[in-house]
């Protein structure tokens, strides 16, 4: 079964990772989004694939797995380029830096790890979450890291030193939070069974939705959010501030 999918930057190709269902083969596959044709199969993981990401230039693919590894692949040939070992449990999330030189991984072992792709070396281990890390992202300049955890916090870290700079209570759109308040002046955070719209600069309250949204995604214009409540799709829009 398919566990995770991701688009390439030009939206013409799609990645998929196999999940924990009948017929699973622990592969990453690359597809043509227009024709549906399978282009490349990447084999090497020893257990189900939980996360996939494209490099900014589209030439490489990153994957995380139940086998506790992060793997780098050539998107054209499917060749395995590197295996990054260090996590003590399932890798749930992976991400590239904007320059494609470093990658992040988040794990059930409650850590975020930063890796150098030139040599596969582990640069920093970010320790502070006390539950699994389900989402990771770099800031656009690569100086900050944002992580989301099932401990119901979002944490901002210094990518150089590993210092935790800020803790936000709740869960939200990790990529939008990492992009910063200049790009996204407002954010949607889930706390105590409710979804709060607030200022990304100082946390000032703006509006409240009385349900906890899951899978929150921020619209590029920064004033609309999509999420789900049970089997319903919910759209929130900030009308005025």
pLDDT, tens digit (0-9, with 9 covering 90-100), for 101-118: 999 999 999 999 999 999
pLDDT at 231: 87
Around Cβ 140, how many Cβ atoms within 10 Å?
Answer: 14
Q: What angle do CA 214, 10, 92 make, to 5 degrees?
A: 35
Choose among 107, 127, 125, 114: nearest CA to 51: 107
Separation CA 207–CA 19 (nearest Å): 37
pLDDT, tens digit (0-9, with 9 covering 90-100), for 61-75: 999 999 999 999 999
Q: Is 50 exposed, middle or buried (0-12, 13-18, 19+ CB in 10 A)?
A: buried
pLDDT at 18: 81
State the residue for tokens 């993981």.
45
Q: Which of 86-95, 117-126, 142-151, 232-241 has the lowest mean pLDDT?
A: 232-241
* Residue 20 pLDDT exceeds 70: no
pLDDT at 87: 97
Structure tokens at 83: 């295996």
Structure tokens at 93: 């999330």
In DSSP terms, 220 is beta-bridged to none
pLDDT band at 240 (very low <50, low <70, confident <90, very high): confident
Cβ proximity of 127 and 155 under 8 Å: no
* Residue 22 pLDDT exceeds 60: no
Cβ proximity of 92 and 133 under 8 Å: yes
């Amino acid at each position: 079964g398919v566990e995770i999918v991701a688009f390439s930057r030009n939206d013409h190709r799609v990645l998929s990772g196999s999940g924990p269902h009948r017929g699973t083969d622990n592969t990453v596959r690359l597809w043509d989004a227009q024709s549906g044709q399978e282009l490349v199969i990447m084999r090497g993981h020893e257990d189900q694939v939980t996360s996939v990401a494209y490099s900014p230039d589209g030439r490489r693919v990153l994957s995380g797995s139940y086998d506790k590894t992060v793997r780098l692949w050539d998107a054209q040939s499917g060749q395995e380029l590197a295996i990054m070992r260090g996590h003590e449990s399932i890798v749930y999330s992976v991400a590239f830096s904007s320059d494609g030189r470093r990658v992040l991984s988040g794990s059930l072992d409650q850590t975020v790890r930063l890796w150098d792709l030139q040599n596969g070396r582990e640069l920093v281990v970010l320790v502070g979450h006390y539950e699994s890390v389900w989402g990771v992202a770099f800031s656009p300049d690569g100086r900050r890291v944002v992580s989301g955890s099932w401990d119901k916090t979002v944490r901002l870290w210094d990518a150089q030193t590993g210092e935790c700079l800020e803790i936000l209570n709740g869960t939200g759109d990790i990529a939008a939070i990492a992009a910063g308040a200049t790009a996204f002046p407002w954010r949607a955070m889930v706390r105590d069974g409710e979804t709060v719209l607030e200022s990304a600069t100082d946390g000032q309250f703006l509006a409240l939705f009385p349900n906890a949204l899951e899978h929150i995604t921020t619209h590029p214009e920064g004033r609309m959010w999509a999420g789900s409540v049970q089997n319903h799709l919910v759209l929130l829009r900030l009308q005025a501030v």
